[in-house]
């Protein structure tokens, strides 16, 4: 009797264990994948949800559940969900947010999960943004250069040389142009630097700045050298020197500058490529605007980017099905749909060649011409970067741009205070 009961209990445990490990965990035999998306603009949300519906219609045994996330809180929210064992199966994030999650064992290594088509379809320099050690922890799929959005009528009347991707302004020429465009309460440029770190570091690559340097032992240190100072010094001089940029926008987000831009207060605003959607939707009737490349320095038009990525949680019991969903979502035509919805550039080579992305309308052709010069952001693989950015770099740059501290103090804080933070993550 006791033996019979013991066997029965063992069989029951085995059945429960097998059910828990089965990829078909639902009572109806279907797998359900939770996909947390950070799409937020109407067109982007609509395009993403349409693709989810198309997947579900074609794959009745693997249902994808769309979960809306937010860029404002994604890092802390994901950390909480990882530690609580409740992470979504498929995770939308940005490449510069992946390092700590990858090293912490929260993200699956995609090396053996992704089909060759997807691997071959995205250039190696894009894959590098999501590669940490020997593993790949995200698929980079959308990217955006930082560009100058300009009042076309203002520039034409001023007689300044209009730059192109083939013949961009140098940083010194950019300063001369903004000074020429300023006066009588109007400014040549407005810098929205509420979040100053990524903008400064990514643009500094065009001047040859790197800031983060990896030694032979693999450890990263911060060194603020002369090339790293060119872009910060340009912005500081425009604000506090020749007053070709207003101090009032330094604490603003990109969207906050648009009313002044439309109202004729600023000739240009440096913004991410995707801001064109807001401008196209909100610009007054008859307002003429154009997209110009950001200035170039010793590094040419090279610019750091942190692509949007799609990852799979390490704890997901359905990694194979999640990888198949990623393959579907990022087919070239679908990647184009996502790019058009977000007004960004796809990373995929075939997707980038789509004629819809090469039209002069709304500056698409200018952005696409810059795609080949986009590279991994300096902070991409740096462990501890989120803390360094929030606790050290953001307040230091904000105080420097406002005039509260000088260049020597900016250097000291980025290097001395910053390296103390990074050292804790590299022991």
**pLDDT per position as a tens digit, 115-165:** 999 999 999 999 999 999 899 999 999 999 999 999 999 999 999 999 999
Instruction: Check: CB of residue 344 under 8 Å from CB of residue 50.
Output: no
Q: What is the mean pLDDT of residues 312-319?
A: 97
**138 burial type by CB count under 10 A (0-12 exposed, 13-18 middle, 19+ buried):** buried
Given this model, what pLDDT does residue 21 score?
40
Instruction: Check: CB of residue 140 under 8 Å from CB of residue 127.
Output: yes
Given this model, what pLDDT does residue 376 score?
85
Q: Is the pLDDT of residue 241 over 70?
A: yes
Angle at 204 between CA 272 and CA 409, to 5 degrees: 115
Q: Is the pLDDT of residue 96 over 60?
A: yes
Q: Is the pLDDT of residue 2 over 50?
A: no
Q: Is the pLDDT of residue 427 over 90?
A: no
Give 411's pLDDT tier (boundaries 50, 70, 90): very high
Which pLDDT tens digit goes with each residue over 299-311?
899 999 999 999 9
Rounded to whole angstroms, the Cα distance separating 302 from 319 reads 35
Q: What is the mean pLDDT of residues 359-384?
A: 90
Q: Which domains are assigned to the chain?
A: 24-143+306-368 (3.40.190.10), 146-293+384-425 (3.40.190.10)
Given this model, what pLDDT does residue 26 score?
55
């Amino acid at each position: 009797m006791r033996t019979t009961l013991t066997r029965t209990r063992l069989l029951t445990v085995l059945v429960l264990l097998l059910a828990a490990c089965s990829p078909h965990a639902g009572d109806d035999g279907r797998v359900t994948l939770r996909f947390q998306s950070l799409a937020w603009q109407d067109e982007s949300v609509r395009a993403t949800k349409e693709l989810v519906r198309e997947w579900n219609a074609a794959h009745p045994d693997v249902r994808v559940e769309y979960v809306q996330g937010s860029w404002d809180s994604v890092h802390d929210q994901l950390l909480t969900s990882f530690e609580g064992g409740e992470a979504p199966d498929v995770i939308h994030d940005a490449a510069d947010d992946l390092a700590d999650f990858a090293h912490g064992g929260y993200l699956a290594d995609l090396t053996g999960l992704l089909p060759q088509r997807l691997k071959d379809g995205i250039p190696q320099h894009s894959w590098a943004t999501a590669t940490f050690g020997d593993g790949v922890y995200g698929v980079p799929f959308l990217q955006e250069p930082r560009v100058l959005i300009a009042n076309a009528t203002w520039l034409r009347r001023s007689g300044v040389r209009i730059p192109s991707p083939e013949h961009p302004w140098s940083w010194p020429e950019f300063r001369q142009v903004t000074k020429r465009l300023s006066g009588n309460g109007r400014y040549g440029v407005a810098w929205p630097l509420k979040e100053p770190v990524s903008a400064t570091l990514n643009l500094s690559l065009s001047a040859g700045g790197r800031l983060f340097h990896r030694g032979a032992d693999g450890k990263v240190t911060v060194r603020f050298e002369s090339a790293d100072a060119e872009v910060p010094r340009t912005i500081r001089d425009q604000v506090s020197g020749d007053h070709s940029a207003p101090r009032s926008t330094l604490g603003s987000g990109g969207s906050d500058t648009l009313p002044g831009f439309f109202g004729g207060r600023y000739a240009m605003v440096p913004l991410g490529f995707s801001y064109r959607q807001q401008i196209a939707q909100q610009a007054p009737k008859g307002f003429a605007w154009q997209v110009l490349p950001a200035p170039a320095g010793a590094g040419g038009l090279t610019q750091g980017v942190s692509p949007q990525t799609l990852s799979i949680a390490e704890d997901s019991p359905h990694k194979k099905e999640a990888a198949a969903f990623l393959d579907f979502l990022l087919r070239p035509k679908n990647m184009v749909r996502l790019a058009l919805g977000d007004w960004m550039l796809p990373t995929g080579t075939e997707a980038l060649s789509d004629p819809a992305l090469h039209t002069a309308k709304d500056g698409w052709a200018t952005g696409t011409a810059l795609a080949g010069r986009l590279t991994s952001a300096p902070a991409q693989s740096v462990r501890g970067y989120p803390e360094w950015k929030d606790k050290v770099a953001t307040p230091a740059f904000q105080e420097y741009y406002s005039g509260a501290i000088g260049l020597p103090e900016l250097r000291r804080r980025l290097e001395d205070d910053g390296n103390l933070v990074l050292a804790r993550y590299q022991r």
